[in-house]
């Protein structure tokens, strides 16, 4: 009982800081997405393809959340965008105060789109608002088509679902229509994109949508 109250206090404090982040980002007219998924669903690959596609068109900054390493920030930095690595040292999700610290290191006047890549985890990040405009959940075809039913909060709290690794569908028992239906059963207003970072399929549609969200 006392533990539940502590958790609630943590969330309340987190939500207050998230709201401050949101105000700060809105003041700078920065559109912010919080990218979440299981480990290995392809968040960083989608991020790389997105940076490649938007290069020269938009000023993008990236905040990377990882349990331990800065491998992902290294991958992202190659695209010439400002990248801040947050290492959670075992923590299974990002929190708003960590994002606030990261924001302090960025020149927000030069950012139009901020992409926060959360820790790879389908459970923990779902309850933690970071101050983003919306959550984008990535589900890869190789994880099976039942994941929205098994991890509903993440799909319920997201606005966009990217179904990634569609190039592997011919080799899987996983069914794309079932995955879509399961996701829409949990959250009927999900905007869905289907992508492959190997073939490049669907990346343009996703980036066009993303570009249209920018506050110009």
* Contacting residues toward a copy of itself, per CB under 8 A: 3, 6, 10, 38-41, 66-69, 71-72, 90-92, 119-124, 140, 142-144, 146-147, 149-153, 165, 167-168, 171-173, 198
Nearer to a copy of itself, 111 or 162 (CB): 162
**Minimum distance from CB of 168 to a copy of itself (Å)?**
6
**Minimum distance from CB of 131 to a copy of itself (Å)?**
22
**Minimum distance from CB of 113 to a copy of itself (Å)?**
25
* E strands, 88-185, in order: 113-117, 134-140, 160-164
What is the C-alpha to C-alpha distance for residues 213 and 136, in angstroms, rounded to an integer?
A: 13
In sequence order, what DSSP letters do the residues of 186-207 get, joined into one string?
H-TT-EEEE--TTT-TTHHHHH
Nearer to a copy of itself, 124 or 134 (CB): 124
Nearer to a copy of itself, 96 or 106 (CB): 96
**Minimum distance from CB of 192 to a copy of itself (Å)?**
18
Nearer to a copy of itself, 3 or 212 (CB): 3
Residue owning tokens 């992202």:
76
DSSP three-state, residue 164? strand
What Å distances lie between residue 155 and 64, 98, 182, CA to CA? 21, 23, 10
Nearer to a copy of itself, 10 or 205 (CB): 10
CB burial of 122-149 (b: ≥16 within 10 Å; e: otherwise) equals bebbbebbbbbbebbbbbbbbbbbebbe
**Minimum distance from CB of 107 to a copy of itself (Å)?**
28
DSSP three-state, residue 36? strand
What is the C-alpha to C-alpha distance for residues 112 and 160, in angstroms, rounded to an integer?
A: 19
């Amino acid at each position: 009982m006392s533990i539940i109250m502590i958790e609630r206090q943590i969330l309340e404090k987190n939500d207050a800081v998230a709201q401050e982040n949101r105000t700060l980002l809105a003041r700078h007219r920065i559109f912010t997405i919080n990218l979440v998924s299981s480990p290995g669903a392809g968040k960083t690959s989608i991020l790389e393809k997105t940076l490649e596609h938007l290069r020269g068109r938009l000023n993008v900054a990236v905040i990377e959340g990882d349990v331990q390493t800065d491998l992902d920030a290294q991958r992202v930095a190659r695209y010439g965008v400002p990248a801040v690595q947050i290492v959670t040292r075992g923590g299974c999700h990002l929190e708003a105060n960590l994002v606030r610290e990261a924001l302090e290191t960025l020149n927000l006047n030069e950012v139009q789109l901020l992409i926060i890549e959360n820790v790879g985890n389908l459970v923990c990040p779902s309850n933690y608002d970071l101050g983003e405009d919306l959550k984008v959940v990535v589900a890869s075809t190789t994880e099976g088509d039942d994941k929205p039913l098994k991890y509903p909060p993440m799909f319920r709290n997201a606005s966009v679902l990217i179904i990634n690794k569609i190039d592997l569908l011919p080799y899987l028992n996983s069914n794309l229509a079932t995955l879509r239906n399961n996701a829409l059963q949990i959250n009927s207003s999900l905007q869905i994109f289907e992508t492959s970072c190997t073939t490049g399929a669907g990346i343009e549609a996703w980036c066009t949508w993303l570009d249209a969200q920018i506050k110009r």
